[in-house]
């Protein structure tokens, strides 16, 4: 199994949107995929399942690691795609660096034992506390970044925090930064990719970019990945391209 944390320092950069649609892209080509909501606010559950507040999930397992994992996995219409809600996050102390590592690792071992091939974890913003420990326990991290010039200013801090997490997890595979909400009609937005390539290590900026598109709002209002909308095929093709790009990076890293 490969575990991928979808994380960022900043909030509202498109983590949840990317997680849902990328997970769907893996699942639709037959990869057994689990999308885990590790955001205490429960955003994945919120967008994809109406009764998510009632579901047990990730934090229930952290509270009680003797819980069996399979009943926490919610089936979707795609047999290869399952979800895990955040669950009872309000009863779990999400603070402190390193204090969750053992439990998150036990969680990932359990998920791997259930036959899942890709485990995508949508985290809350920030690379500290539980979100930092999820990254430090995962095989890889994918970092969405909003395609706005201001975002570039936070890059030095991002690199610093990743260095800190790599002390705990030297094998962490940085899949890179994926630009989200790109506005192709604005030169300022188009220019962000080039500017990021100058300040990030070679190969970190993903070739695939996610455009700003009203369809994302429509899909999330209906509780669906974009590819499940009739008009979503073109955007789904981008997530398929991102999936293939990341799969190549993962196999390169492994080999």
Ligand X SMILES: Nc1ncnc2c1ncn2[C@@H]1O[C@H](COP(=O)(O)OP(=O)(O)OP(=O)(O)O)[C@@H](O)[C@H]1O
Find which of ligand X, Mg ion, none residue 12 binds, CB within 5 to 8 Å per kind.
ligand X
Find which of ligand X, Mg ion, none residue 123 binds, CB within 5 to 8 Å per kind.
none
* Closer CB to ligand X, 12 or 201, in the complex: 12
Position closest to Mg ion via CB: 16
Residues 6+ apart with CB under 8 A from 253: 140, 173
Task: Determine whether 133 is exposed, middle or buried from the number of CB atoms within 10 Å of its CB (0-12, 13-18, 19+).
Answer: buried
Question: In the complex, what is the shortest distance from the CB of residue 115 to Mg ion, in angstroms, rounded to a whole number?
Answer: 27
Partners of residue 178 on adjacent β-strands = 144
3-state helix/strand/coil string of 86-115 = CCCHHHCCCCCCCCCHHHHHHHHHHHHHCC
Q: How many residues bind ligand X (CB under 6 A)?
A: 19
Site residues for ligand X, window 30-49 (CB under 6 A)? 39, 43
Q: What angle do CA 184, 188, 126 make, to 5 degrees?
A: 95
230 HSE (CA, 13 A, CB side): 0
Q: Which position among 63, 78, 106, 125 is part of the footprint of ligand X (CB under 6 A)?
A: 125
Rounded Cα distance, 24 and 47, in Å? 13
Task: Determine whether 151 is exposed, middle or buried from the number of CB atoms within 10 Å of its CB (0-12, 13-18, 19+).
Answer: buried
* Closer CB to ligand X, 16 or 33, in the complex: 16
Find which of Mg ion, ligand X, none residue 17 binds, CB within 5 to 8 Å per kind.
ligand X
- Site membership for ligand X, residue 132 (CB under 6 A): no
Q: Which position among 2, 3, 7, 16 is part of the footprint of ligand X (CB under 6 A)?
A: 16
Question: In the complex, what is the shortest distance from the CB of residue 180 to Mg ion, in angstroms, rounded to a whole number?
Answer: 12
* Closer CB to Mg ion, 3 or 19, in the complex: 19
Find which of Mg ion, ligand X, none residue 217 binds, CB within 5 to 8 Å per kind.
ligand X
Which DSSP string corresponds to 172-183? -EEEEEEEESB-
- Site membership for ligand X, residue 184 (CB under 6 A): no
What angle in degrees, to the nearest 10, is found between the helix axes of 129-137 and 101-113?
Answer: 50
* Closer CB to ligand X, 12 or 115, in the complex: 12
- Site membership for ligand X, residue 180 (CB under 6 A): yes
* Closer CB to ligand X, 69 or 141, in the complex: 141
Give the DSSP H/E element, type plus range, for residue 81: strand 81-84
- Where does this chain bind ligand X (CB under 6 A)? 11-17, 39, 43, 124-125, 180-181, 210, 212-213, 216-217, 220
């Amino acid at each position: 199994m490969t575990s991928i944390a979808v994380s960022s320092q900043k909030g509202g950069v498109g983590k949840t949107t990317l997680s849902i649609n990328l997970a769907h892209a893996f699942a639709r080509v037959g990869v057994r995929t689990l999308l885990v909501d590790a955001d205490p606010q429960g955003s994945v559950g919120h967008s994809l399942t109406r009764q998510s507040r009632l579901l047990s999930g990730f934090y229930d397992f952290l509270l009680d690691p003797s819980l069996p994992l399979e009943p926490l996995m919610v089936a979707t219409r795609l047999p290869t795609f399952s979800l895990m809600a955040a669950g009872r996050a309000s009863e779990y102390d999400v603070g402190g660096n390193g204090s969750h590592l053992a439990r998150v690792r036990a969680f990932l071992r359990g998920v791997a034992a259930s036959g899942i091939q890709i485990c995508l974890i949508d985290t809350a913003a920030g690379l500290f506390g539980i979100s930092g420990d999820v990254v430090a326990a995962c095989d890889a991290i994918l970092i969405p970044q909003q395609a706005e010039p201001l975002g570039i200013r936070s890059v030095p801090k991002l690199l610093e925090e990743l260095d800190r997490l790599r002390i705990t997890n030297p094998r962490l595979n940085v899949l890179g930064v994926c630009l989200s909400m790109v506005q192709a009609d604005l030169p300022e937005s188009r220019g962000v990719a080039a500017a990021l390539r100058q300040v990030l290590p070679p190969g970190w900026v993903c070739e695939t970019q996610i455009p700003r598109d009203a369809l994302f709002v429509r899909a999330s209002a209906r509780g669906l990945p974009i590819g499940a909308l009739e008009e979503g095929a073109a955007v789904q093709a981008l997530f398929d391209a991102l999936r293939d790009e990341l799969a190549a990076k993962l196999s390169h890293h492994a080999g």
